[in-house]
């Protein structure tokens, strides 16, 4: 494949319709995302019952972001609505929102999806009918099992998804291998083997695909235009994501100008809720 063809295919993939996307858009981040399988207006009605401040359709508006707060939004063509923390350094609101109860109240599934590129970890919790239905945590390397917060006993798996590392380093499949992943899994509905998990990243992505769900990697930093937003006033925005396809030389030969292609998510709406100071 020549460079032009590679660039063309990369641009085509990057700009594919957001309504068709499923799974996980990017694992190159640290995030906690909650997905609820209801239209946004139904989720927002439920959140408004508990919030001390509610603002609907805040796209383009200037708002005050503070305290325990979150954004709720939905992508066009997707059955799931999404909740994200309003302040990146304070994800606690997503963990204290009584997600199991929310699944019972709305009569639909709720998924907590976790990803950390810094820690090489990911996972999910699935709630239905007011109960935890499935739990998964995985890591490149060792991992602390936190399933006791749910009062369950998850099964530990040792995975070896990187055979090229084993070959390069002449390692055997044992607990000292640098090629290992660790996973913990529990489910009311199914049992899985280490071979069926295979790779923690593929396993979580396939789970999302099986539920027709999608994490678009839209966080409060994206919506507020600041990488680490702190309490303050912001204009809510939808600037899109940019991919650098290459660089071209400025006509004076001084600057390299990037060739960019931009893809803007098609959002139904964005709502804002605050639950405490």
| pLDDT digit string, tens, across residues 202-250 | 999 999 999 999 999 999 999 999 988 999 999 999 999 998 877 666 6
For the CA atoms of the chain, what is the radius of gyration?
21
Q: What is the pLDDT of residue 41?
A: 98
Of 138-142, 155-159, 239-243, 253-257, the poorest mean pLDDT is in 253-257
Task: Round to whole Å and give the CA distance between 33 and 239.
Answer: 20
Task: Round to whole Å and give the CA distance between 93 and 227.
Answer: 19
Residues 6+ apart with CB under 8 A from 118: 30
Provide the pLDDT confidence category of residue 171 given band limits of 50, 70 and 90: very low
Digit-coded pLDDT (tens) for 95-135 = 755 899 999 999 999 999 999 988 899 999 999 999 999 99
Q: What is the pLDDT of residue 84?
A: 96
Domain boundaries, the chain: 26-238+265-276
The whole-chain average pLDDT of the chain stands at 89
Digit-coded pLDDT (tens) for 35-59 = 999 999 999 999 999 999 999 999 9
Please give the average per-residue pLDDT across 155-176, as a whole number: 67
């Amino acid at each position: 494949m020549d460079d032009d063809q590679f660039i063309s295919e990369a641009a085509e993939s990057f700009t594919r319709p957001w309504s068709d996307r499923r799974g996980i858009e990017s694992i190159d981040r640290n995030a906690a995302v909650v997905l609820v399988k209801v239209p946004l207006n139904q989720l927002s009605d439920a959140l408004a019952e508990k919030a001390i401040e509610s603002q609907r359709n805040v796209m383009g508006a200037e708002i005050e972001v503070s305290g325990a707060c979150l954004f709720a939004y939905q992508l066009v063509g997707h059955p799931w609505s999404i909740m994200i923390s309003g302040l990146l350094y304070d994800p606690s609101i997503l963990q204290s929102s009584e997600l199991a109860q929310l699944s019972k109240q709305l009569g639909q599934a709720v998924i907590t999806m976790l990803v950390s590129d810094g820690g090489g970890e990911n996972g999910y919790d699935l709630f239905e009918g007011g109960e935890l239905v499935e739990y998964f945590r995985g890591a490149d390397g060792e991992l602390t099992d936190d399933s006791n917060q749910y009062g369950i006993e998850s099964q530990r798996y040792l995975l070896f998804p990187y055979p090229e590392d084993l070959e390069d380093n002449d390692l055997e499949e044992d607990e000292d291998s640098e090629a290992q992943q660790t996973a913990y899994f529990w489910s009311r509905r199914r049992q899985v083997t280490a071979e069926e998990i295979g790779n923690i990243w593929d396993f979580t992505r396939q789970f999302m695909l099986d539920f027709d769900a999608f994490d678009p990697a839209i966080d409060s930093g994206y919506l507020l235009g600041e990488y680490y937003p702190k309490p303050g006033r912001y204009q809510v925005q939808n600037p899109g994501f940019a991919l650098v396809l290459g660089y071209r030389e400025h006509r004076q030969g001084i600057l390299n100008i990037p060739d960019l292609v931009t893809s803007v998510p098609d959002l139904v709406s964005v709502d804002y809720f605050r639950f405490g100071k």
